[in-house]
Amino acid sequence: MKQENIRNFCIIAHIDHGKSTLADRLLEYTQTVSGRNMQAQVLDNMDLERERGITIKSHAIQMTFHFEGEDYTLNLIDTPGHVDFSYEVSRSIMACEGALLIVDSSQGIEAQTISNLYLAIGNDLEIIPVLNKIDLPHSMPEEVSDEIIDLIGCEREEIIPASGKEGTGVDKILEAIIKKVPPPKGDKEKELQALIFDSEFNPFRGVEVIFRVVNGTINKGDKVKFMATGKEYLADEIGVLKLDQEPRKMIEAGDVGYLISGIKQAKEVKVGDTITHVNKPSESPIAGFEDVKPMVFAGIYPVETSEFEDLREAMEKLQLNDAALVWEPETSAALGFGFRCGFLGMLHMEIIQERLEREFDMTVITTVPSVQFKAHLKKGEPVDVQAPAEMPEPITIDHVEEPFVKAQIITKSDFVGPVISLCIDKRGILKNQNYLTSDRVEMTFELPLAEIVFDFFDRLKTISRGYASLDYELIGFQQSNMVKLDILLNGEKVDALSAIVHRDKAYDWGKRLCEKLRELLPRQMFEIAIQAAIGAKIIARETVKAMRKNVTAKCYGGDITRKRKLLEKQKKGKKRMRQVGRVEIPQEAFMAVLKLD
């Protein structure tokens, strides 16, 4: 394929504005996927993605399209829209020259429309605006076009009206991709530089590396080197990504492909690394990606302590597939050996937990999530605190800083009041307010990250009846009056239940957390005292009464199958429990702090 006939583009949008559905139509129109293999959101091939109806990972696929007497290769990358996964978007963007910016014509511009657009503009991508879902009766093409023109400064005629559902506008979109997106610039005669922008672990074939050749040519059988790790491999198999992998003899500058070379160790591949030739290496790697910054930290522990090594292996494999996941071993007095993990947000954390269980058959407990604090000591270097257990003794601390974010909220003007109250309750400050139309407002707040990563978005949705979107970015650390709140069960501190909270909220938290734990801890043959403490000072207390009789007694001693069923049920319920001292703690207890209001 001639380089001037290659187009690399991604699809960006706010969540649910129809990226994956439009991708389906492009694949059909170009006959990349035929009738028999077609299913809705065909690129969302992970079970979890299909069930939840969301895109979690970016997906690359190659299409061939005949246009005005020429054959074109179009490499499409579908991207996730949720704020937790903007890192996936930024990687995809680096492998493209153009972006389809999709806006739902019944919703208008939302928070991730703007943040993803800025990522694309920052990388000099050609933007093709698409007004989607025009089939909907409550579609507002005029108003939403005004918003788009206002946002990107394009002409009205440049906006392509489309319906991913009905296939309207697909021909216009393909034409615009060919006419407006520039072909890749690289030189295929130069030394090889291929950017790794994704990777996947296949249990049978080892690590599959997804790359974009920026300069040079890679051939099957070449001896290649990954520049950051210095490791050398034989390119056993290279090829392009259609619905399935299609092996090729060579891949030239400008194109996207995959590489399989029997890499067994997940750690060996670093997304953002550059592949070059061993014999004729490039002098420098491609300027890579920024390292991912995890926002939320939590411990992950096996329910069965004997499964620690299995869990380590699972984490290594998962990390290969998810460059945003970071982790290191950790020990908890209560839970034993496990891992401290960094996540992009709560959805990311939930997904990691679910993938560990589904794809690796692990049963795990995750501990109370926390953001990273900085403790400045009276003497010595400041300490990064990613878990409450790492907080130094109060007496040694001079002051504590916590991370703050700039948050963009877009909502209907009716909900401005409630949104501001919510943000103030969360220790936020309103910085700016901007009317997108007479009826829709964009507000900017500064907020502590700790107040928004957990249940903020759910509350925002509730108070705005669904009409609010949120995007945020870290802006740095600021001093805050934080304290460590400990939980004691029968007088024993359970480190995995500690949390770091603002002093003004600590008493209230302690009280409500004890109440919540009283509901969640199963009754046992003895009484359980639940206490909340700041340092040595007890600030709240609740009691779980002892159970008087054996549970099976409920079955009147008669029906044996019923008895067995009950025991079975108990056993299942036990799966996600950890014994700490004599007390059994269910998974929900570790998440209780997130559901206090």
Binding annotation: 16-21, 132-135
Under the binding rule (CB under 6 A), the answer on residue 165 touching ligand GDP is yes
How many alpha carbons fall within 13 Å on the CB side of residue 448? Answer: 21
Alpha-carbon distance 582 to 588, whole Å?
18
What is the widest separation between alpha-carbon atoms in the chain? Answer: 83
Under the binding rule (CB under 6 A), the answer on residue 133 touching ligand GDP is yes
Alpha-carbon distance 567 to 366, whole Å?
25
The closest of 400, 399, 457, 401 to 426, measured between CA atoms, is 457
Distance of alpha carbon 140 from the chain centroid: 31
Count of residues of this chain found to bind Mg ion when the rule CB under 5 A is applied? 3
Under the binding rule (CB under 5 A), the answer on residue 132 touching Mg ion is no
Q: How distant, in Å, are the alpha carbons of 460, 525, 556, 557, 566 from that of 562? A: 45, 22, 10, 10, 6
165 interface partner picked from ligand GDP, Mg ion, none, CB below 5 to 8 A per type = ligand GDP
Q: Which is nearer to ligand GDP, 18 or 184 (CB)?
A: 18
Q: Which is nearer to Mg ion, 55 or 193 (CB)?
A: 55
The binder of ligand GDP chosen from 26, 63, 73, 81 (CB under 6 A):
81
State the burial class of residue 444 (Cβ atoms within 10 Å of its Cβ: 0-12, 13-18, 19+): middle
Find the shortest distance in angstroms from Cβ 165 to ligand GDP. Answer: 3
Torsions phi, psi for 467 (to 5 deg) = -90, 55
Tell me the residue type at 191.
E
Under the binding rule (CB under 5 A), the answer on residue 20 touching Mg ion is yes
Segment interacting with Mg ion, rule: CB under 5 A, options 53-61, 299-307, 335-343, 401-409? 53-61
DSSP state string for 91-145: HHHHT-SEEEEEEETTT---HHHHHHHHHHHHTTPEEEEEEE-TTSTT--HHHHH
Q: Are 228 and 285 in contact (CB under 8 A)?
A: yes
E strands present in 481-571: 482-489, 492-493, 499-502, 528-534, 537-544
Residue with CB nearest ligand GDP?
18
Q: How distant, in Å, are the alpha carbons of 383, 440, 478 from that of 393? A: 12, 48, 20
Tell me the residue type at 467.
Y
Under the binding rule (CB under 5 A), the answer on residue 86 touching Mg ion is no
Positions 237 through 256 that interact with ligand GDP (CB under 6 A)? none
48 interface partner picked from ligand GDP, Mg ion, none, CB below 5 to 8 A per type = none
Find the shortest distance in angstroms from Cβ 43 to Mg ion. Answer: 8
Q: Are 46 and 35 in contact (CB under 8 A)?
A: no
Q: Are 224 and 216 in contact (CB under 8 A)?
A: no
Q: Are 462 and 470 in contact (CB under 8 A)?
A: no
Pairing type for strands 250-252 and 232-234 reads: unpaired
Q: How many CB atoms lie within 10 A of CB 191?
A: 15
Which residues make up each annotated binding site for GTP? 16-21, 132-135
DSSP secondary-structure letter at 203?
T
The binder of ligand GDP chosen from 135, 175, 191, 357 (CB under 6 A):
135
Q: Which is nearer to Mg ion, 19 or 355 (CB)?
A: 19
DSSP secondary-structure letter at 556?
T
Under the binding rule (CB under 5 A), the answer on residue 79 touching Mg ion is no
Q: Which is nearer to ligand GDP, 115 or 498 (CB)?
A: 115
Q: What angle do the packed helices 346-360 and 308-321 form, to 10 degrees?
A: 120
Find the shortest distance in angstroms from Cβ 15 to ligand GDP. Answer: 5
The binder of ligand GDP chosen from 55, 193, 411, 498 (CB under 6 A):
55
Segment interacting with ligand GDP, rule: CB under 6 A, options 12-20, 279-287, 316-324, 330-338? 12-20
Count of residues of this chain found to bind ligand GDP when the rule CB under 6 A is applied? 20
Segment interacting with ligand GDP, rule: CB under 6 A, options 8-16, 60-68, 303-311, 482-490? 8-16
Query: By three-state DSSP, how is residue 334 classified?
Result: coil
Query: Which two tokens mark 189?
Result: 């005669």
Find the shortest distance in angstroms from Cβ 163 to ligand GDP. Answer: 4
17 interface partner picked from Mg ion, ligand GDP, none, CB below 5 to 8 A per type = ligand GDP
Under the binding rule (CB under 6 A), the answer on residue 164 touching ligand GDP is yes
Find the shortest distance in angstroms from Cβ 170 to ligand GDP. Answer: 11
Under the binding rule (CB under 5 A), the answer on residue 21 touching Mg ion is no
Q: Which is nearer to ligand GDP, 16 or 584 (CB)?
A: 16
**Residue whose entry in the numeric block shows the structure tokens 């002098």:** 283
Find the shortest distance in angstroms from Cβ 20 to ligand GDP. Answer: 3
Under the binding rule (CB under 6 A), the answer on residue 21 touching ligand GDP is yes
Q: What x/- string results for residues 24 through 53 when contact with ligand GDP is judged by CB under 6 A?
A: -----------------x-----------x
Q: Which is nearer to ligand GDP, 57 or 578 (CB)?
A: 57
Q: Which is nearer to ligand GDP, 132 or 366 (CB)?
A: 132
Q: Which is nearer to Mg ion, 19 or 57 (CB)?
A: 19
Alpha-carbon distance 85 to 376, whole Å?
31
Q: Which is nearer to Mg ion, 20 or 132 (CB)?
A: 20
Under the binding rule (CB under 5 A), the answer on residue 55 touching Mg ion is yes
Q: Which residues sit at the interface with Mg ion, rule CB under 5 A?
A: 19-20, 55
Q: Which residues sit at the interface with ligand GDP, rule CB under 6 A?
A: 13, 15-21, 41, 53-55, 81, 132-133, 135-136, 163-165
